[in-house]
């Protein structure tokens, strides 16, 4: 069994840090221990687990449970205090492709899963309905200002609505859930929520209702589709074949036995994949890097100044439910005792860009809680020292830092890109192929062990190790103050995303 003991190197570092917080932490030895080969071994193990469990590691599946148990045994053997935290979450799975069509006056079958067509709204109810299409408080043409439409946001919008009709609702200022709930309460048999229509808001909406509380079928459509369905005399048909219910899964948390428990460093990555594939980049890359850092920290005998809490979150792909359940379980004192949250979600994308979360909001306009800029600067300084260019990415709510920043906890992390398209400028800077996705296998069955950039994984895991070790060994406060939670909460409330789905 590996044990955690204070080495001479660690003792020297600790003494230097206690004398002055300005002394930088030497992370070279720890970074050298975190090799791409070491991380890839864990990704290979996750691939084998997926292969033997139906090709997926999605939350609630046997593949997820086996992934959690595999990591649990390793970190327990390394000497960590390990907790399995069960929680319930809303589960959604489509059983077959949804259907949306105009029957009258012009028969049109709208393409499922295409930008010009429609997508099933996550947590939609199941069913097949046919009825007259009825627009609800629409702005056609749309305002030039995004989120200006209040279509379906108030019960009064449905005054005079004919029960049994299919509600045609425009995206806008309130959540998709509220629109669908109001429609169901008014007697709608189905709902089509279509994009608002401004530039950048015309494609089919890949959205979420956030919870399985609506029993009628709900889909998100392109602006042009909604505009057609909202015309006079239209009869439409909506079909959704899906499971939407409450299920149970768990987080895995491993803590160092020592270190200050009033300045905890929470280092997280989601362990689950989407149902469609094994998820070896998303997020086997972050999960594997976390595991390798935890094991090497123990192997080197490092006893951190500040307690480290490694977390493998469940049900992130369903909407950040694991990290949210964890944060919800914390007391006010527990929250105050977390100094920083580091998040590593996709760090080996084949067509990568080196993205760093914009903690101070200087580049994207969305800042994290007070101290997040300091975390960002740790990464920026590291990459500058390595001669590696980086780009900012926004706290848009699409990963597990979301519940932390909502509670005012400073956060930061790394990302190599998902479904976004690499530009010509990025290809010139980072290599790869302009015009292709950063991860061409994002949320697909081909997100396997082969879906990886060794170069990105090496560089990003080293940067992750640098930040982890820096915050583990620092004797200074990350944020300098406990204020700033209200601002962070407001920023989190304003985010359009819940996990990987739009929520409004």
Q: Provide the annotated active-site residues.
A: 316
b vs e for 394-407, b when ≥16 Cβ sit within 10 Å of the residue's Cβ? bbebbbbbbbbbbb
With the C-alpha atoms ordered 140, 144, 150, 152, is the resulting torsion angle positive or negative?
A: positive
Q: What is the 3-state secondary structure (H, E, C) of 33-71?
A: HCCHHHHHHHHHHHHHHHHCCCCCCECCCHHHHHHHHHH
Q: Are 312 and 263 in contact (CB under 8 A)?
A: no
* Rg of the chain taking only CA atoms, in angstroms: 24
Are 284 and 278 in contact by the 8 Å Cβ rule? The answer is yes
Q: Which residue has the tokens 């209200």?
A: 486
What does DSSP assign to residue 214?
Answer: -
All residues at 6 or more sequence positions from 428 whose CB lies less than 8 Å from its CB, including other chains: none
- Give strand ranges (E) for 448-498: 497-498
At how many degrees (to 10) do helices 372-385 and 454-473 cross?
130
Question: From residue 304, how far is each of 257, 294, 333, 445 by CA, in Å?
Answer: 9, 12, 21, 39
Cβ–Cβ under 8 Å, residues 402 and 323 = yes
What backbone torsions phi and psi does residue 342 show, to the nearest 5 degrees? -105, 130
Q: How many residues does the chain have?
A: 504
Distance (Å, whole) CA 35 – CA 310: 19
Alpha-carbon gap, residue 281 to 441, rounded angstroms: 9
Element (DSSP H or E) covering residue 383:
helix 372-385
Find where tokens 């205090």 sit: 81
């Amino acid at each position: 069994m590996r044990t955690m003991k204070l080495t001479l190197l660690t003792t020297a570092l600790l003494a230097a840090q206690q004398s002055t917080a300005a002394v930088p932490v030497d992370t070279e030895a720890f970074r050298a221990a975190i090799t791409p080969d070491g991380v890839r071994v864990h990704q290979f193990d996750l691939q084998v687990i997926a292969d033997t469990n139906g090709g997926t590691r999605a939350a609630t599946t046997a593949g997820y449970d086996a992934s959690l148990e595999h990591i649990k045994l390793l970190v327990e053997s390394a000497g960590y205090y390990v907790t399995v935290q069960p929680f319930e979450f809303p589960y959604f799975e489509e059983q077959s492709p949804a259907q949306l069509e105009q029957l009258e006056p012009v028969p049109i079958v709208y393409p499922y899963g295409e930008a010009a067509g429609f997508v099933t709204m996550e947590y939609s109810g199941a069913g097949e309905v046919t009825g007259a299409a009825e627009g609800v408080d629409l702005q056609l043409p749309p305002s030039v200002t995004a989120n200006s439409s209040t279509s379906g946001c108030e019960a009064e919008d449905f005054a005079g609505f004919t029960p049994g009709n299919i509600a045609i609702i425009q995206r806008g200022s309130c959540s998709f859930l509220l629109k669908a709930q109001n429609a169901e309460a008014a007697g709608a048999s189905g709902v089509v929520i279509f994009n608002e229509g401004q530039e950048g808001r015309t494609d089919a909406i890949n959205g979420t209702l956030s919870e399985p509380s609506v029993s009628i079928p709900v889909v998100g459509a392109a602006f042009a589709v909604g505009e057609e369905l909202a015309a006079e005399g239209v009869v439409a048909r909506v079909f959704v074949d899906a499971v939407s219910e409450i299920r149970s899964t768990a987080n895995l948390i491993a803590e160092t036995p020592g270190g200050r428990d009033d300045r905890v460093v929470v280092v997280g990555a989601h362990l689950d994949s989407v149902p469609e594939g094994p998820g070896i980049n998303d997020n086997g890359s972050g999960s594997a890097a976390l595991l390798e850092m935890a094991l090497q920290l123990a192997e080197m005998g490092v006893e951190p100044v500040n307690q480290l809490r490694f977390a493998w979150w469940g049900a992130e792909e369903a909407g950040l439910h694991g990290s949210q359940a964890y944060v919800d379980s914390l007391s006010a004192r527990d929250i105050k005792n977390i100094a920083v949250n580091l998040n590593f979600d996709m760090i080996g994308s084949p067509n990568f860009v080196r993205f760093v979360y914009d903690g101070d909001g200087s580049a994207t306009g969305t800042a994290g809680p007070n101290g997040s800029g300091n975390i960002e600067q740790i990464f920026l300084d590291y990459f500058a020292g390595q001669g590696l260019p980086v780009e900012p990415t926004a706290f848009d709510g699409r990963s597990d830092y979301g519940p932390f920043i909502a509670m005012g906890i400073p956060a930061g992390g790394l990302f190599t890109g998902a479904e976004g398209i690499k530009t010509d400028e990025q290809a010139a800077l980072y290599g790869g192929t302009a015009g292709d996705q950063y991860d061409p296998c994002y949320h697909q069955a081909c997100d396997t062990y082969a879906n990886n950039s060794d170069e990105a994984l090496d560089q990003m895991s080293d940067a992750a190790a640098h930040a982890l070790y820096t915050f583990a060994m620092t004797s200074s406060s990350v944020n300098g103050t406990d204020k700033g939670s209200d601002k962070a909460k407001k920023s989190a409330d304003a985010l359009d995303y819940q996990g990987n789905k739009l929520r409004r």
